[in-house]
A and B are shown apart, each in its own frame.
Chain A
Amino acid sequence: MPHIEIVGITKVYEQPAAPPIVALDGVDLTVEHDQFVSLVGPSGCGKSTLLHLVGGFISPSTGEIRIDGRPVTGPGPDRGIVFQNFALFPWLTVRGNVEYGLAEKGIPRRERRKVAQHFIDMVKLTGFEEVYPHRLSGGMQQRVALARMLACDPQILLMDEPFGALDAQTRLILQEELKEIWRQARKTVLFVTHDVREAVFLSQRVVVMTARPGRIKEIVDTDLPADAPRLAVDALAEDIWATLREEVLKAVVPGDRREQAP
């Protein structure tokens, strides 16, 4: 049985005093256990919306999402998420944030400390344990959000541009780390990114979405062998970028009657 089934999903945002926005229009996607799938698409095409639907934070206008065959009815700790805007708890320190989910699981203090420290070290925030989020840079906050999710050890990782605020070097290091975690812990990952190379490097499949209303334009198999030459990664990324380019251009054509993102 597939791990995540997204069946005929449409999402319309109704808004007072403005025409409704069709964010997703007929999306079907199946993700097997332990699969790493990336979503790429122009800004505003509904990638975050799709992740929020799988997370159970919002419900679809039509269609259904199933996890292990059971319909999603709400959020749960089986699906961890890194939000695009991090959403750290401002009243908790870095350690407090990373330990939060562990405490909810009822893990004893000592063990909690140990696990949290492991992930804080992993995201290179050693020494910042007692600092509150508002004193961290955007990239550091993003890494706390990553550690907070990973510490909970969910089976499904939903990640919304989790490396978007990072510098190129940290980004490469964390890509390696994530790939390693995925390889060892066998997680199912749904990963949103704007970086096509990152998508190809990390994932087994890359889903290219159309400009809004979001549909799936193409699914590219990117399951390269671990020792694939850089050239192969680049070539595949080139191909996907060519497809994506059309959509990005479509999304920003002047005179387009669909309103632009602010």
Chain B
Amino acid sequence: MHATPVLRRALGLGVLKRWASVIALFALWEGVCRARLVDPFLLPALSEVLRRGAGELWSGELVAFTALTLYRTLAAFVLAGAIGIAIGVSMSLSAPLRWFGEPVVSFAFPIPKIALMPIFVLWFGVFDLSKIVMTTVAAVVTVISATHLGTRHIDKYLLWSAQSLGTHRRALFWKIVIPAALPAILTGLQIALPMCLIVSIVTEMITGGRGLGGYMIYASRFAESDKVFLGIFLTALIGYVLTEGLAMARRRLLAWHPEETVMV
């Protein structure tokens, strides 16, 4: 299939449109600072932040911190994904687990999970482990409930079709339920990923211990506002790259799904 020139232009326009608001915001930021409308200590210009960033790159420290935050985020994401899908699926398969799990999930959902951080520090120390556990716990509930919702109600005609085509009862789960629930599961993962980034950074802010969160907290302690903004900028960038990557994976995995072909 090939895109027509009209379609291609529409896509190009779409990309520009999509970024226009961000670019405008950056321009506004830069403009306000250049015009000396605010104290450069409270809000350093974007160009200043980027210059600082270029300088910091040489030191290597910032790169190491970014890598550390990325590692914690992804480790927690993989754990939350694997554990969440396994629990969500088990709850759909077993009535006793459902009876046990459904109220627990509803109960746990609205708790600000970060409140558990002091406890995890007691249990797992102040280093990587407590941060990763904290982030996993915060994100796993979302994955559980998305997976459970997706696998709980499957069109019975799909199950019947498969059975009349020779699929064994026990194989229905992998062959029909999982593919049918894939859109819901992926949605759960897409919500969990930025959540992992946010919680990782917050844990680093609370317990110190390097990473981008630690970097920003130290910077603010030493009143280096350009460093704080650099941290925020980097976090936004990482978040964007991660969520965009997952969205790409979704489009690829769900090429069959009607929702994925609607482009406006």
Contact = CB atoms under 8 A, between A and B. Distances in A.
A91 B180 contact: yes
A85 interface: yes
B256 A92 contact: yes
B166 interface: yes
Chain B contact-residue range equals: 20 to 34
Nearest to A100: B165
B222 interface: no
Contact of B164 (A80, A85, A91, A133): A80
B238 interface: no
A179 interface: no
A77 B256 CA distance: 26
Given A87-B157, A87-B158, A89-B176, A76 B256 contact: no
B182 interface: yes
A83 B160 contact: yes
Contacts, number: 72
B161 interface: yes
Interface residues of A, number: 31
Interface in A62-77: 74-77
Interface in B136-184: 155-158, 160-167, 169, 176, 179-180, 182
Interface string B174-199: 00100110100000000000000000
A105 interface: yes
A76 B180 CA distance: 21
Contact of A104 (B158, B167, B257): B167
Contacts of A100: 162, 165
Contacts of A101: 165-166
B165 A152 contact: yes
A188 to B, nearest CB: 15
Interface in B201-244: none
Contact of B182 (A75, A91, A134, A148): A91
B165 A90 contact: no
B255 interface: yes
A75 B164 CA distance: 5
Contacts of A74: 163, 169
B258 interface: yes
Interface string A92-128: 1100000011001100000000000000000000000
B166 A152 contact: yes
Contacts of A76: 163-164, 166
Interface of A: 52, 55, 57, 74-77, 79-81, 83, 85, 87-93, 100-101, 104-105, 132-135, 148-149, 152, 154
